[in-house]
Amino acid sequence: DFCLSRGLGDVYKRQVRGLDPSVPVDQANVQVLEVKFNPRLLLTNPPTNLQDIRDAVLRPFDLQFSAPVNVSLFPFSDGSWVVENFNVYDSTAVLNGQSIPVRARGWTYKWN
């Protein structure tokens, strides 16, 4: 925990205000997440933003995943996956059209 916090602190110290104008952010495969030097803002992203991010990240892997905030998908190259629920209440995720119930603070998986 100390190393992670210290490492993240070092990253934050190196941040530069604004993006370099030569970076082509208007590309279809680029999403800019504005955190305004407060990365905790990512934890308060509206669900629609979260779904947009999930869709963009998972599209190249031909995966579709929807779930409440704080429910995560961990896909593996062999087609196995883990869905973990970090919430204090039971949740349901949907992976490629399949409904997957996940207990509070629990996880479920499919190994290949």
- E strands, 1-112, in order: 65-66, 71-75, 81-85, 91-95, 98-102, 107-110
- Map residue 94 onto helix, strand or coil: strand
DSSP count for the chain of H helices, then E strands = 2, 6
- Map residue 10 onto helix, strand or coil: helix
Give me the chain's average pLDDT, please.
83
pLDDT for residue 4 is more than 50: no
- Strands 71-75 and 98-102, bridge-based pairing: unpaired
d(CA 44, CA 23): 26
Task: Give the pLDDT mean for 22-32.
Answer: 77
- pLDDT, position 17: 61
